[in-house]
Structure 1
Amino acid sequence: MVVIGAGPVGLATAAELTRRDQEVIVLEQGQAPAAAVRQWGHVRLFSPWSEVTSPAAVALLEATGWSHPEPTAYPTGADWVRDYLDPLATVLGDRVRTGHRVLGVARSERDLLVDSGREGQPFVLHVERADGSMQRLLARAVVDCSGTWGAPNPLGAEGYPAAGETAAVDRILYEMPDGEADRDRFAGAATAVVGSGASALTALIALTSKPLHTPDSHVVWVVRRGTVESAFGGGELDELPARGALGTRVRAAVDARLIEPVTGFRVTGVQEQGATLALLATDGRRIEGLDQVVGATGFRPDLSFLSEVRLNLDPRLQAPVDLAPGIDPNLHSCGSVQPHGHDVLAQPEGDLFLAGMKSYGRAPSFLAMTGYEQVRSIAAALAGDLEAARAVELTLPDTGVCGGAGLFDEEASGDGGCCGTPQGPESLTLTGVAGSAR
């Protein structure tokens, strides 16, 4: 069996299959396990250690004398790698193959069109290795845990890069600002953060805290919604306290005029104006005088290497159709997900599963413990233990809010109240002090 991606959920899948005496290989395109997590190692998780370790992985690790980190502490990405993911990859040994990029998955000797004999054929993975050579690898089953990190959503309101966005890419960061590595880039700069999820809140906190925040700093928060109120989250009602604290801190920064919210702004262009940038909206407004932009607009799954296998995905979320209604941000953002396992995640090919963050498609509410339960069920099904595979139990912490994140148009009231959008185009130019955009 082949697992694509050696991130937290991919390694947990291998641990589950290994515990059930199944042969498994994990293919990771990065040069080290958990390559994506390493890229945001400076960011602290809002889930504690007790919720970011897989039971199957813990069992494997403890057999080697490993000790579980303090359950109530909150790791950074770097902590997660050093104290859990690297040791787990070491225990899994040569089952984990780094520098192996999957370019395609298919049924052996069958393309997408061919029906005849399809179900009886093994999967074949077309793999590019670090030295540039190609490998054709046969598999009984494939679990795609490749995540979404490598495919950030662009700034453009229609899902495509805004005009000028690609040309200005050197001044747009699609990751979280790092207080040390990015000091020269952001300290004292005029920065727009585009987005309204947890990543946007994290970026806003970094940009309004030392060392990135200085008396000369300017931070504009650009959202499509008619108000930022729902973006603050559930605060004390959030069952993940650290997640609730994100919104509380950003609200305080907005109240202190360290952040200038700009609402109802749907980006259509990024314009270079000499030493500065301007963001252009579909309604004609402009935000001028920017030095940098942080794109915190979410991620999307890379489905390109699955073009020759048959998928059954929701047309909006690009998530498995049976999972999509429970995670669709157009409907809710409650954080409560119905129990789901192998049967919900399976694709029409049979023994092909999307798991982990990739299973959520474009939905933003994935938690590590969701993925760990998913792959426990998948591994049980692949090992023939259908009773265990069906016994899925999953209770996720509530966010404390239940608003349809995708319904930014419907938020607006007819009389231009707190959720209303501006009545006409205006320009916003950053000037002398934080919060002075007009």
Structure 2
Amino acid sequence: MSAQQLPVIVIGAGPVGLAAAAHLVEHGIQPLVLEAGASAGAAVREWSHVRLFSTWGEVVDPAAEKLLAPTGWTRPDPATYPSGGDWAERYLQPLADALGDRVRLGAAVTGVSRAGRDRIVDADREAQPFVVHVQYAGGREERILARAVIDASGTWTTPGPAGGSGLPALGEKAAAGRITYRVPDLEDPAVRARYAGRRTAVIGSGASAFTALAYLAELAKSEDGRGTHAVWVLRRGISGATFGGGEADQLPARGALGLAAKAAVDDGCADAVTGFRTEAIERADDGSLVLVGEDGRGLQPVDEAIVLTGFRPDLSFLSEVRLNLDERLQAPVALAPLIDPNQHSCGTVYPHGHRELSHPEQGIYLVGMKSYGRAPTFLAMTGYEQVRSVAAAIADDTEAADRVELTLPETGVCGGAGLFDAPDTQQTDGGGCCAPAPQLIQLGAPAATSSGSSD
């Protein structure tokens, strides 16, 4: 069988992986999607209670919609906001069904290489197909040859730790029973009881932390949540950019989310602790947790901790292919400068495609959230543009691959370096590189919470 007759392996049946398959089908190329979970959108289903801050119109891929049209699928109102559960049930599952046997579930990719060539061997390397090692849920193993590999496996399974050094804090693993690394579903009675009337540390400064703060504030104001209080732990100080773009954000629900977090602090439902990098998590005599900073400062005990410090890519199964990744972000080198939070925190990057995502090992692409490595602020529509370009490149349609077919929204604010206590040099009263810092507005229910960044 010639290389052109082999399938393109897509790792992950999330939003971006399934979109990649749809674009490949559009080019007449056979995809094979390998999903480790038991259903399409397995990661998205784990945050099914969270409402996206992108509308339906922004989280449905055009090629996927074309593939769905003959099935009688009806697109939801493009101006409304789906939850993760809505996204999975009303879009991802129908899309996987439309792809049929081109999607395999319970299929975990454990290795990718070149057939007969390990990472070291140069000889005739590019002429060899990729070989993808798969382990199925029942224990069976298989190796599949592929003409190209698109890794859209996301970062959901590898959340960042509480430790400020990037390593788990001392005692973090021992305290695992009181720590979660996901936004809790406070509509679930058992989960609600875990946090109601208790002190909870929320560690992190992004959209997920905003979400948790807003949810806990809503719980604190409810009849059964009296006494609920949050302690928001930030590694940086609070500046005008801390809460995002507010009314200046071109994704209004994303801006409202930051303002809801600000309201939680201003209303007294949460205390903010700034400049705190967790070194250890100790157990008090009553079983509560004491967060200790690198400077030796200990916070008042909390009953629970929600650690929302971002995600990182799992590169272990790609160790035999030659990737060119930025040493800090673990993102493709050509993409890294566009998304590096050491340089800016705008969360705004121009649309990019196969050229920024290419590697020395031709024919393998990291796309979706995984392409961002450890950088935050990924949008689903960014991933859709990525795979549109990548699929065209695999189909040798360079003109289409190089074309830009997306305009991304601005966050509405830029806060300078986003990772440490550097001055917010880009934030000025006159607007700086973006708009002025937002002012607090009063909100009702918590705003939408997620961009749909899980792949």
Tell me whether the two structures share a fold, i.e. TM-score over 0.5. Answer: yes
Tell me what 2:251 maps to: 240
Corresponding residue SS for 1:43: coil
Deviates more, 1:61-70 or 1:303-312: 61-70
Tell me what 2:266 maps to: 255
Whether 1:396 and 2:402 are equivalent positions in the alignment is no
Tell me what 1:194 maps to: 203
For 2:144 and 2:220, the matched residues in 1 are separated by 48
Tell me what 1:431 maps to: none
Deviations along 1:275-334, one digit per CA (max 9) or x if unpaired, are: 211101001111132110000100000001100000001111111111111111111122
Q: Which amino acid aligns with 2:21?
A: A
Corresponding residue SS for 1:290: coil
Of 290, 308, 311, the match for 2:323: 311
Counterparts of 1:1-40 in structure 2, within 5 Å, are 1-40=8-47
Distance 1:321 1:89, change over 3 A: same
The alpha carbon displacement at 1:355 in A equals 0.5
Tell me what 1:75 maps to: 82
Tell me what 1:329 maps to: 341
Counterparts of 1:338-377 in structure 2, within 5 Å, are 338-377=350-389
Deviations along 1:386-408, one digit per CA (max 9) or x if unpaired, are: 11111123321111111234342
For 1:346 and 1:251, the matched residues in 2 are separated by 40
The alpha carbon displacement at 1:212 in A equals 8.6
Corresponding residue SS for 2:126: coil
Deviations along 1:238-275, one digit per CA (max 9) or x if unpaired, are: 11000000111111221111110000000000111132
Counterparts of 1:400-415 in structure 2, within 5 Å, are 400-411=412-423
Corresponding residue SS for 1:243: helix
The structure, 1 or 2, with the larger RCO (C-alpha pairs under 8 Å, 6+ apart) is: 2
Of 225, 248, 262, the match for 2:236: 225
Tell me what 1:95 maps to: 102
Alignment check: 8 A CA contact 1:225 1:411 kept: no
Alignment check: 8 A CA contact 2:416 2:424 kept: no
For 2:206 and 2:47, the matched residues in 1 are separated by 16
Whether 1:137 and 2:144 are equivalent positions in the alignment is yes
Of 187, 190, 200, the match for 1:180: 187
For 1:45 and 1:211, the matched residues in 2 are separated by 23
Alignment check: 8 A CA contact 2:341 2:375 kept: yes
Counterparts of 1:250-329 in structure 2, within 5 Å, are 250-273=261-284, 274-329=286-341
For 2:93 and 2:355, the matched residues in 1 are separated by 30
The alpha carbon displacement at 1:185 in A equals 1.0
Structure 1 unaligned residues grouped into runs of 5+: 414-438
For 1:11 and 1:161, the matched residues in 2 are separated by 33
Alignment check: 8 A CA contact 2:169 2:279 kept: yes
Q: Which amino acid aligns with 2:75?
A: H
Corresponding residue SS for 1:287: coil
Alignment check: 8 A CA contact 1:186 1:212 kept: no
Tell me what 1:58 maps to: 65
Deviates more, 1:196-205 or 1:250-259: 250-259
Q: Which amino acid aligns with 2:347?
A: G
The alpha carbon displacement at 1:338 in A equals 2.2
Q: Under a length normalisation based on structure 2, what TM-score does the superposition of the two structures give?
A: 0.89
Alignment check: 8 A CA contact 2:249 2:411 kept: yes
Structure 2 unaligned residues grouped into runs of 5+: 1-7, 426-455
Q: Which amino acid aligns with 1:41?
A: S
For 1:294 and 1:339, the matched residues in 2 are separated by 33
Alignment check: 8 A CA contact 1:172 1:293 kept: yes
Q: Under a length normalisation based on structure 1, what TM-score does the superposition of the two structures give?
A: 0.92
What stretches of structure 1 move > 4 A for 4+ residues in a row? none
Tell me what 2:121 maps to: 114
For 1:311 and 1:15, the matched residues in 2 are separated by 25
For 1:127 and 1:65, the matched residues in 2 are separated by 33
